[in-house]
Amino acid sequence: MFADFRSPEVSAEIHCDICIVGAGAAGITLALALADSGLDVHVLESGDLEYDDATQALYGGESAGMENASPIACRVRYFGGTTSRWQGWCAPLRDIDFSERSWVAHSGWPISRHDLDPYYDRAWPMCEVQPTGEETRSALPDFDPAKLGIGFWHYSPPTRFGTTYRDRIERAEHVSVLLNCNAIEIETDANATSVRRLKVAALNGKRGTVSAKAFVLACGGMENTRLLLLTDDVVPAGLGNRSGNLGRFFTQHIELIGARVQATDSMRLNEEFDQHHSEAVRAHIVTSTHVQQKQQLLNTGFSFGSPQQYSPAYQALRSVWHDAAAGKWPDDFGEKVHSVTSDLDSVVEDIFVTRRRAPPYLDLTTYSEQTPNPDSRIGLAEATDALGLRRIRVDWRLTAADRRSIRQSTQILAEELGRMKIGRVKLADWLVDDAAPWPQPIWSGCHHMGTTRMSHDSESGVVNADCRLHDVDNLYIASSSVFPTGGYVPPTLTLIALTLRLADHLSQQYA
């Protein structure tokens, strides 16, 4: 059931078993997983079923560190959340990502990859992806396995959770979604060990409360932290922040062009690492666990790309073709068709000439894990939003260890390409000069992680292995903000797996 909290017919005093704050990938996954548990589940969504400027403006904030850490540019605030914009890249974390590594400070999860494996199996279908084994291709380079391996991205259509799962949510007997309902304050007991209720508000001025047995914050890696920091009446530093870790260790993925490759056969190399199998699978290169351990490196992946620039008309045609191949109606179909038909000469040029022209070189894109850094953090700004809440202040920071790892990983790849006579590599100037500034902006994937990190104890993190706040007995986090480390792959698949695991826990605890 869907209801608009702004409506006078909707009660301002809500009572339920499980209250989920946020209806993105995590919130929708959790609600569906609990739909048959017998629990009364309420999902609070700040936005409506469609995008709205006034609601989106609530994401506004400040960025004090590296560029490309703007909260308003990375997240979307309506039913379905940022899955309305994501590109669908899916891959699980590797075993080493969960391990405590002596060369990576603050690394190590309180759970293992083995703990998540059965939930990964359930997460793939949520993303409308099912790995089939087609991802093994003999034409790919046979790298020294002690140094490099081949990994695969699996592409979701991409699944727009807000539209794909809307009917299932609406039909679920025990699930209710309150639209235009913003959580503005967490009210706890006198010792801040249990949440009593949430205070909520709509932009039209309506106020209310939600009482529940358990509460789950699923409103993103930045907003979860913001809401906890704003709850400072009992714990001045913020709810769940007795150890001072809340908001710290803000990490994203470091994605940038680190080198150029002069390949002996650039067309063939580019094609082998392009998307295959109806655009569903794409190969990439990854540093081996052995070489990471031996040379004390972060987890890193690489892909090749052509620097050739295609016309907007051809890109529009390609976008329509990809959507049609995935069985979905193309976004902005009319605009894309107009772009194609108004510049047919460029489309023909790109199809019959540009795509068949060997590029002079290939760009080598790096996808790197970031070192957990306590000085990279999310805090609160002095400015307030339309609800009177202090806005987010993001201070994203990279370290010398991040640059060193990317440089050494790229050098290992360069040596292998040379040994196999595939090509020669020229590293970017910023990568070989430690004194050079990082290129700006760095594409981070908008993957917000680490600010409510999972840990064995309350001294080193914010939530436990069940994603519950160490110091609060009925408050949970469903977000990539619980990731202690993030590997190099997009977090969505792992986030969904963790959320399905949390659903099992909540069913056992409260059903």
Residue spans of beta strands (DSSP E) within 264-299: 275-276, 281-287
Best CA proximity match to 413, nearest among 249, 303, 270, 279: 303
Q: Is 8 exposed, middle or buried (0-12, 13-18, 19+ CB in 10 A)?
A: exposed
HSE, side-chain direction, 13 A CA sphere, residue 287: 32
Which phi-psi region, left, alpha or beta, contains residue 47 (left: φ > 0; alpha: ψ -120 to 50)? Answer: beta
pLDDT tens figures, 349-405: 545 544 555 567 799 999 999 999 999 999 999 999 999 999 999 999 999 999 999
Longest dimension (CA), the chain: 72
- Mean of pLDDT values over 213-239: 95
Query: Under a CB-based contact definition with an 8 Å cutoff, are residues 251 and 482 in contact?
Result: no
Q: In this structure, what token pair is assigned to residue 427? A: 């590293």
| Gap between the Cα atoms of 445 and 69, Å rounded | 10
Mean pLDDT of the chain: 90
Residue 142 pLDDT > 60: yes
Q: In this structure, what token pair is assigned to residue 204? A: 């039209």
The pLDDT of residue 319 is 65
The pLDDT of residue 302 is 96
- Mean of pLDDT values over 439-444: 84
Start-to-end C-alpha separation, the chain: 20
The SS3 call for residue 292 is helix
pLDDT tens figures, 484-500: 999 999 999 999 999 99
Domains and CATH numbers, the chain: 2-308+357-510 (3.50.50.60), 313-351 (no CATH)
The pLDDT of residue 309 is 56
* DSSP string computed for 457-505: STTS-SB-TTSBBTT-TTEEE-SGGG-S---SS-SHHHHHHHHHHHHHH
pLDDT tens figures, 194-224: 999 999 999 999 999 999 999 999 999 899 9
Query: pLDDT confidence of 5, banded at 50, 70, 90?
Result: very high
The pLDDT of residue 493 is 97
Best CA proximity match to 208, nearest among 347, 403, 10, 413: 10
pTM (predicted TM-score): 0.89
Query: pLDDT confidence of 267, banded at 50, 70, 90?
Result: confident
Residue 44 pLDDT > 60: yes
The pLDDT of residue 345 is 62
The pLDDT of residue 331 is 63
Residue 56 pLDDT > 80: yes
Helices (H), 280-399: 289-295, 312-325, 333-341, 344-352
281-287 vs 148-155, strand pairing mode: antiparallel
Contact residues for 167 (Cβ-Cβ < 8 A; gap 6+)? none
pLDDT tens figures, 111-136: 999 999 999 999 999 999 988 665 66
What is the H or E stretch that residue 41 is in? strand 41-44
What is the H or E stretch that residue 115 is in? helix 113-126
pLDDT tens figures, 292-351: 999 999 999 999 987 655 557 656 666 665 555 545 566 666 676 666 666 666 655 545
